[in-house]
Each structure stands twice: as C-alpha cells, then as structure tokens.
Amino acid sequence: MTQGPQQDAPAYIRKPAFYDRWMESQGIPIYRDYFIEDGRTLELGFWEERGHPAAFLQLAGQAGVTEARISEIPPGGSIKPYKFALEEIVYVLQGRGVATVWADGGAKRSFEWQAHALFRIPGNHWVEYASMAGDAPVRLLHYNNLPVSMSTVQDPSFFFDSEHVTAADVVGDGGDDGFYAEAKVVEQDPRLTGRVRNYWYGNFFPDMRAWDKLVPFRGRGAGGTTVFVQFPGSELTAHMSVFPSKTYKKGHRHGPAFVIVIPFGEGYSVMWPEGKDKVLVPWHEGSIFVPPNRWFHQHFNLGGDPARYLAFHPLPQFTGTGELIEDVNRDQIEYPSEDPDVRKHFEEELAKRGLKSDMPGMAYKDPKWEWDYAGA
C-alpha cells in the first residue's frame, strides 16, 4: 500500500536564486529581455555600494549561469578600487582609460585601454578604473560567473572586498612578460583543430574592432574568419567571428550564457527553440544579446562591410561539450536544409537597402560546399 500525501504538508515553492535576490537588493536597473539594442546608451542607475552608474543585464539566455553588467565612469573620473573574488572579462563599449590591478601586498600593474579593448581581471585582486577622456563617459561591459557561484556560497562578503589574501600575486611585477603582455598565438595539433587552426593566448587584446589575426572558421558558412581567445590560468574563453558583407552564417545551437556584443557592423540575428517561433534581434555596434540554451540562432550581415560579433563563453560545463558525442548535424543547419524563408527574408532586407545577396548559389545546393579561403 502506498502512502498518500499529507493533507497539511506545505506546497513546495522554489525560492529565487540567491544571486537574483542579491542583485535586486542593489538598487540599480535590471534588464530582462532577449537583447539590448545599445549598451552605450542604456539607462543606468547610481550604484551606491560601488559609487558609480551601472545596470545588470539578465537576458533570457544567461540562465542563471553568468553575470553581465554595464558600468560607467564619468568623464575624467574614476571608480573607487574594489576587490572581487571571481575573475572578470571586460569589454570597453566606449571611451578610453587606465586600469590598475593588484593583489593584497603585491605590486600594482597599470595598463591603458580604449574602445573595443578586451581584457581579463584576475580573481581576488583589486582593480581601479579611471577615465582618460574628459568629454564623454566610459562604458564597460563585465562578464563573470557570479550567479552560479552565489548558488554555492550564499554570502556576498565572500565575493566582495574579502579579507582573504590570494596565495599568489597573479599580476606580478608588471614587467614586459607580465600578466598584461602582448597576447601570443598558439598553434593547435592538426589532429585536434576541427574547424579552427589556432587560438590567441593572453589577458589583453587592445582593439577587437581592428583585430586582424584571424583564421578561417570552416564549416560555419559565409566564408567567415575567427579568433579564439584563451585567458592564461582561466577556464573562461571567448571568440570573435568576422563575416563578409551581404552574407549570413549557418544556424546552430549550443549551451546557455554565451553573451554576444557587436564591435562593428549592421545586421540581425534570429533565435528560436526547435520547432517554435523565432525571435528577431536587430544589431549594430554596441548591441548585446544571449542565445537561450539549445536555441538555434543565425547571424545576418546587412551592412556594406564585414561584420563582427564577440562572444564570451561560460565555463566548460555549460558550453555544450557533451554534444561532442552526439550527431553534430543535429546542432547545425546546412544551407540546403534551412527553411526557404530564411533566404527570402535576408534578400528582402538587403533589397530595402538597395543591396543584393553575395551568397553563392552552390551554398544552397551542396551541404559540403565550402568557401575558398585562398590557401589559408
């Protein structure tokens, strides 16, 4: 005989994640949507705890895994130093300035940055940001693992200005070969490369809008090229894809929490769960969006120049590495297999701008057809 439910047992109600409750207590805007049209002009609120304007982004695809937030430095001003237990990737949406990074008792390391720079701040280090522009505010986009971390340690003091002293001063003495030295290329074993031949290894990339050390991203379509970024001693990664004017990439899907920002270009992306309605994301420089977990998404360049999108990756546990044992064809849609309306809508959007598609006819006939990368 099975026992029935107790009549007076309280119904189980799942509480909001600890990170959500902490975030809502900070008194600054929280943006919950599929995309941010322009992070450079997004309305911010004054963050009393940090002493500067800021906003949290909790877009649909972040899934409680990663934090994205925008902070602002007033013209000629600075953000008071703070210590954060977790590492952060920072992308400069606009402006120029200097960051000073140090561990408790360690040497200080300063470096200058400008719009479209990408850099990493190591965990459990202090950082101070200062603007070098007197005519406009600086906007920074931050990316880290705070939501999932706060689910395991539900104590904000553990993460902010903690008295814990790191075992090693990661930044070092600031020499030429130090933490923020020039990034270096790493050639991959040809047996393991798959679509990408190499990656760049470093903590500072001065201008992702101008970055030209790219390799073919074979198999994803549009004749696109890419740079894959790995940060020393970190499990966070990133990549930037560049694809030609009047072309579009193949639809594909992966895990959650890939935050995408546009360094340059004009176009749109489409995101959809399999078999369901699509969400249209128009973008230009400064736009930010996150494809939800296992949603297909596809990127379209409507501009007259190559477009760029920069994606911050979550920890390996969330990137979809488990899919490697599955049929990869389930996670990418080849051009001949896509809905004909995809091509039709793209050509209609180009026609509104007096342009015509540069997609080769063979791409729609042969699923194994590939762009000519001229021996790259």
For the domain that residue 139 is a member of, what is the CATH number?
Answer: 2.60.120.10
| Reported confidence tier of residue 3, pLDDT bands at 50, 70, 90 | very low
Looking at residues 287-302, what average pLDDT do you find?
Answer: 97
- CA pseudo-torsion sign 282, 287, 293, 297: positive
278 shares a domain with 226: yes
Looking at residues 332-347, what average pLDDT do you find?
Answer: 96
334 shares a domain with 250: yes
- Domain assignment of residue 371, yes or no: no
Predicted TM-score of the model (pTM) = 0.92
pLDDT for the residue numbered 162? 86
DSSP notation for 295-318: -EEEEEE-SSS-EEEEEEE--GGG
| Reported confidence tier of residue 174, pLDDT bands at 50, 70, 90 | low
Nearest to 100 by CA among 79, 73, 128: 128
- Alpha-carbon distance 142 to 119, whole Å? 10
Per-residue pLDDT at 261 exceeds 70: yes
Residue of higher predicted confidence among 3 and 329: 329
339 shares a domain with 199: yes
What is the total count of domains within the chain? 2
226 shares a domain with 349: yes
- Alpha-carbon distance 189 to 179, whole Å? 25
pLDDT for the residue numbered 169? 75
The boundaries of the domain holding residue 60 are: 25-159
Question: Residue 44 CB: number of other CB atoms within 10 A?
Answer: 18
Question: Residue 131 CB: number of other CB atoms within 10 A?
Answer: 20
User: Model confidence over 86-112: pLDDT tens digits?
Assistant: 999 999 999 999 999 999 988 899 999
pLDDT for the residue numbered 178? 78
- Alpha-carbon distance 302 to 306, whole Å? 9
pLDDT for the residue numbered 324? 44
232 shares a domain with 95: no
- Alpha-carbon distance 25 to 45, whole Å? 13
226 shares a domain with 92: no
